[in-house]
Amino acid sequence: MYHGIQDALGQVAYLKRTIEVLVHRLDELEQLASSADEMDPLWDSQVRDVTGRRGLPIRHHIDVAIEYAGEWQRQLDDIVTSRPR
């Protein structure tokens, strides 16, 4: 197998494993948030604050990662479909 293909497949495998870790972490966050009983306004405010400070940047990075993956896919497709056979 060619080095470029090996590199691409290795990157895909790493990214998939990393996404599985992220999904697991998000499941844990979901369980934690779902288990919270009534909170006083101060605690609720703290939850909103930490969610904004931590959750929104994660969303941004995921959106950017999706764009990068799409660009990677289009460029790889261009290379694969334009090669001589």
pLDDT digit string (tens) for 50-68? 999 999 999 999 999 999 9
Q: CA 4 to CA 17: how far, in whole Å?
A: 20
21 and 13 Cβ atoms separated by less than 8 Å: no
Q: What does the mean pLDDT of the chain come to?
A: 94
- What percent of the chain clears pLDDT 70, i.e. is strictly above it? 98
pLDDT band at 1 (very low <50, low <70, confident <90, very high): low
